Structure 1
Amino acid sequence: MSTSGPRILVIVPAWNEEESVGATVREITAANPGIEVLVVDDGSVDRTAERAENAGALVCRLPFNLGVGGAMRAGYRYALRHGYGVTVQIDADGQHDPAYLTEMVAALDHSDIVIGARFARDGDPYRVRGPRRWAMVLLAAVLSRIAGTRLTDVTSGYRVANRRATMIFAMHYPAEYLGDTVESLVIAIRSGCKVAQLPVDMRPRAAGQASASPVRAVIYLSRAVVALGLALVRRWPATYDEGVEHQPQVVGAGVDAS
């Protein structure tokens, strides 16, 4: 990846991902020389932070677990504070292929946020079934209507954002369940951001196990509908203010926010 454009920060939220975070960081930097990686250790009780540092990442240590939304808000505030022009969210479990980053960042020429969509390519091997899939279809349909463009994977955690979107997320990124995906997009769209997507391939987790069961799938569907409803009724700023871009402060320890 060329370093002549805006500075890019990859934010990796990580909770007890010692088995995969080091390899994830090394793959990101190998595929994109010159890029910087910030691992937000979300209150892990294992060696996540140590493994991330050994792999060459900056590390922000949160004192306790805040969830993906809280970890990402810390990352966005760090990015805003330190003048990064583009931020990227990549999961620590190795499912997101950093080889797509160049194409996704290039797409910011016409959008404020670009989603790495798992269901946008014909014949995509990534499949989700049952209530979880129903929730994803419902959320995608509603968000597509709001955004004025077709979105197929609004719960994807693989995203890039320009400085405008980063500024909004640093101030308003939600920490509630599904807020880091569904609600964050509603906030961005209602704040005037343009959202687009590019097809990507999703890989199996490099380590650990994802929590999945019929009961959890039903709970996911119920929570998804509630999260979407709350996101739609809440009031969000219609614009963003350049004058407040230096106000947010990084939370946690391990990186210097000044």
Structure 2
Amino acid sequence: MRERSPLKSALQQIATFPAFLYGILLALAGLCVYLTGVFIGFLRLLCQGDGLWLWVADRIVWYSGMPVVAGGLLICYDLFVLFPSKRRTMPVRWAPPSDCGVTVVLSAYNDELSIGAAVEDFKAHPLVRRVIVVDNNSSDRTSQCARAAGALVVNEPLQGYGNCVYRALSEGLSFTDTELTLLCEGDMTFRAYDIEKFLAYLPHADIVNGTRISEQLRERRTQLSTFMYYGNFFAGKLLEVKHLGRGTFTDVGTTYKLCRNQALEVLMPYLNPEINLEFNAHFLDTALAQGLAVVECPITFHNRVGLSKGGNSSNLKALAVGSRMIFGLVAGWRKPRMPRQLAQRDPLQG
């Protein structure tokens, strides 16, 4: 195989540089500096301060324009120079799966109140071959309730959302009679009747990610507060401008997604299961970086059964998770301390 020249590699790196993303961040930084100057000027008038306050406010407001202009230039550079080479020129993909049967994998942690109903909901769907529940060291009767409802149950000993989801995906990959793995949660916020929606989008993608950012498809009182709703939308748009021309994204926090197993085999070695509640953003960002086609699908979102233990439990916790998402998208995700092998199923746990 012929090696690429250093010049060609450098040009390719320039073409994939997320200038739009960094332009937005620079512009936002400049706006924050500007508002700081305005606030200082307001305090000067309120407290009748001396001329030094006015001088400081004036300099802050003046110099705030520099990052705004720099950000605007980066955005224009990406849109008008880099974008034509980033945007996909291939025709609309149409590659239906040869078999629409799915293996459903549900992540669960102290979901005794909901897991039985979730398993029964998915098992009743005609395209579902099996339901696997990955119990992340629950202290209640989650495993017993899942087995009673007819699920295969495995325990993931490493605590954390990322570890649980990674194990769930590896469990789905271990079955060779299905080529599709449907990832979801066991808290009844999602429903099996959306499987047909995922399958309608799948011919165009390697991974179909559910989006909860459809007001008409959300119940009135869900764990997704207004703050989290728009926070997910903002993070989705950062992901979109980072991978400009690769897709439209509005929700990076949802677990519900349908994956081709062939795509998962490519993706899994690059995922870090040690990343916790922001794992879904890491998953999508890494999938796009590996050249996989990701398409969003609007899904219904329902009230949770039981208490939330994740990033949706409070706005403060959601802010912390969202901040880590944004940091990961901008600065890159941390590497795993040690490679993790795909899980081998213990038949005794079924």
Q: Do the two structures share a fold, i.e. TM-score over 0.5?
A: yes
Structure 1 unpaired stretches of 5+: 237-246
Of 151, 167, 180 in structure 1, the residue corresponding to residue 249 of structure 2 is 151
Q: 1:125-204 maps to which residues of 2 (within 5 A)?
A: 125=219, 128-129=224-225, 131-147=227-243, 148-175=246-273, 176-204=275-303
Contact (CA 8 Å) 1:187, 1:231: kept in 2 or not? no
Residue number in structure 2 paired with 1:239: none
In the alignment, residue 69 of structure 1 is paired with which amino acid?
G
More helix by share: 2
Give the 3 Å change call, closer, same or farther, for CA 157–255 of structure 1 in structure 2: farther
Q: TM-score, normalised by structure 2?
A: 0.61
C-alpha separation in 2, matches of 1:156 and 1:38: 19
Contact (CA 8 Å) 1:76, 1:169: kept in 2 or not? no
C-alpha separation in 2, matches of 1:213 and 1:78: 24
SS at match of 1:198: strand
Residue number in structure 2 paired with 1:226: 324
In the alignment, residue 200 of structure 1 is paired with which amino acid?
I
TM-fit CA distance, 1:133? 3.6
TM-fit CA distance, 1:158? 1.0
1:39 aligned to 2:133?
yes
Q: Which segment is superposed worse, 116-125 or 136-145? A: 116-125
Of 119, 138, 150 in structure 2, the residue corresponding to residue 56 of structure 1 is 150
SS at match of 2:106: strand
Q: Which segment is superposed worse, 224-233 or 138-147? A: 224-233
Residue number in structure 1 paired with 2:308: 210
Residue number in structure 1 paired with 2:164: 71
SS at match of 2:185: coil
SS at match of 1:59: strand
Give the 3 Å change call, closer, same or farther, for CA 105–225 of structure 1 in structure 2: same
In the alignment, residue 165 of structure 2 is paired with which amino acid?
M
What whole-Å deviation, never above 9, does each CA across 1:214-258 have from its counterpart, x for those lacking one?
Answer: 99423422432333322444389xxxxxxxxxx94316856679x
In the alignment, residue 218 of structure 1 is paired with which amino acid?
L
RMSD: 3.1
What whole-Å deviation, never above 9, does each CA across 1:95-120 have from its counterpart, x for those lacking one?
Answer: 10110102202321110111121113
Residue number in structure 1 paired with 2:199: 105
TM-fit CA distance, 1:180? 2.2
In the alignment, residue 171 of structure 1 is paired with which amino acid?
P
Give the 3 Å change call, closer, same or farther, for CA 254–49 of structure 1 in structure 2: farther
Residue number in structure 2 paired with 1:243: none
Give the 3 Å change call, closer, same or farther, for CA 152–231 of structure 1 in structure 2: closer
C-alpha separation in 2, matches of 1:61 and 1:208: 20
SS at match of 1:87: strand
In the alignment, residue 92 of structure 1 is paired with which amino acid?
G
C-alpha separation in 1, matches of 2:313 and 2:289: 33
TM-fit CA distance, 1:48? 0.9
State, as a whole percentage, how many aligned pairs show the same letter.
22
Of 56, 81, 88 in structure 1, the residue corresponding to residue 182 of structure 2 is 88
